Amino acid sequence: MHIATPPPPAPSSGPRPESDSAALQALARSREQLVDQLHRRIVGQQGVIDLLLVCLFAGGHGLFVGVPGLAKTLLVSSLAQCLDLQFSRVQFTPDLMPSDITGSEVLEEDPASGRRQFRFVAGPVFCNLLLADEINRTPPKTQAALLQAMQEARVSAGGRTHPLPQPFHVFATQNPIEQEGTYPLPEAQLDRFTLQIVVRYPDEDAERQIVALSSDTGPALSPVLSPAELRAHQALVRRIPVPESVIGHVVALLRATRPGEPGCSPALRELLQWGAGPRAGQQLVAAAQARAALDGRPAVTIADVRALAGAALEHRLVRSFAAESRAVSTAEILQKVLAVVPG
């Protein structure tokens, strides 16, 4: 049985429905300010920034895929500064242990009484924004240490459960070309990422500006939103109406990716081993709500869903042997899915 992912809790005294229009306008203004601040350090990459903000305001986690040197780490750390979030960065390596991420129990002795007791020492995951750098360089056992944190926003250790600070987001990076000494992320881990954001080389004009820069970090950034304001905006995003036609379109897309479903065409059955599950549909809808809200629109459209389908579904598709042998990418397969389910 699939357990629905709970939405972020809404503030106890959030805006009334009649004031949501004003709140949407405030969110659109905040988006413009965030983009302006990020562009003080990041040259170009507007599409990447847009997807990053969609993922953030949807309350999700993001996986950045791109070759080294494209400012993925700088982008995430800059976002944390713009939102005044507690930021942690973990460099994933083959010898990293789960306790290096979540924390561990240590035995302490009281000098006065001589009594010994265990105390939990929190790891870097206890933050608002965690950057998991090169997440595929650590074994699956350590990768799995993030599963509970990403799904439930809490960590279990020593028989006790410790809640994580709110808001809590994981943004991970992955190098798509260097595979020596790496461990592919298991499907269960990939499914926790709301969006996979592909970071490509900049265009020529942008690259000229980047090469001419004398500093890797750039100017100081000003906070745009507080953590409390961010959570209020995320609660607003969850209230954006989603028409039944949009829900039907998302379900049709999901079922078109599953070889055992009638909605999957014979050509797609040959290319797919496994398709996207219901959690993918939930997170695609949440991302579409965020996209509409960031644009200042009061409702989700099918165009929002189709614009985000690649980022939300590609990393959740498992290719068949036939697709791998013919070098058919998941991006190409998704284009066939979108053709089978027209908007």
Q: Is residue 12 part of a domain?
A: no
Range of the domain at 62: 18-238
Residue 46 and residue 166 in one domain: yes
CB atoms closer than 10 angstroms to residue 287 = 28
Phi-psi region of 213 (alpha: psi -120 to 50; beta: other; left: phi over 0): beta
For the entire predicted model, the pTM comes to 0.85
**pLDDT, position 342:** 85
Residue 214 and residue 95 in one domain: yes
Q: Is residue 10 part of a domain?
A: no
Identify whether the C-beta of residue 123 lies closer than 8 Å to the C-beta of residue 167: no
Q: Which residues contact 75 (CB under 8 A, 6 or more apart)?
A: 38, 41, 42, 45, 48, 49, 52, 64
Residue 273 and residue 202 in one domain: no
Residue 141 and residue 229 in one domain: yes
Residue 187 and residue 252 in one domain: no
Instruction: Write the DSSP symbol of residue 223.
Output: -
Q: Please say which residue of 213, 238, 263 terminates a domain.
A: 238
**124-139 tens-digit pLDDT:** 889 999 999 988 888 8
> What total number of domains does the chain contain?
2
Q: Please say which residue of 173, 203, 238 terminates a domain.
A: 238
Residue 83 and residue 204 in one domain: yes
Q: How high is the mean pLDDT of the chain?
A: 86
- Per-residue confidence at 310, pLDDT binned at 50, 70, 90? very high
Residue 55 and residue 193 in one domain: yes
- Per-residue confidence at 82, pLDDT binned at 50, 70, 90? very high
Give the CATH number, domain containing residue 251. Answer: 1.10.8.80
Give the CATH number, domain containing residue 65. Answer: 3.40.50.300
Q: Tell me: pLDDT of 31 over 70.
A: yes
Q: Is residue 5 part of a domain?
A: no
Q: Is residue 1 part of a domain?
A: no
Beta bridge partners of 106: 119
**pLDDT, position 19:** 79
Distance between CA 336 and CA 257 in Å, rounded?
10
Highest mean pLDDT: which range of 219-223, 306-310, 322-326: 306-310
Residue 170 and residue 252 in one domain: no
Residue 270 and residue 306 in one domain: yes
**144-200 tens-digit pLDDT:** 888 888 888 888 877 788 889 899 999 999 887 666 667 788 888 888 999 999 999
DSSP string, 81-100: HHTT--EEEEE--TT--THH
Burial of 44 (0-12, 13-18, 19+ CB in 10 A): middle
Task: Report, as an integer, the average pLDDT of 37-41.
Answer: 89
**244-292 tens-digit pLDDT:** 999 999 999 999 999 988 888 898 999 998 889 999 999 999 999 999 9
Distance between CA 72 and CA 343 in Å, rounded?
32
Residue 165 and residue 294 in one domain: no
Residue 265 and residue 295 in one domain: yes
**pLDDT, position 179:** 62
Residue 185 and residue 314 in one domain: no
Query: Residue 338 to residues 94, 156, 303, 309, 318: CA-CA distances in angstroms?
Result: 38, 40, 12, 9, 17
Q: Is residue 36 part of a domain?
A: yes
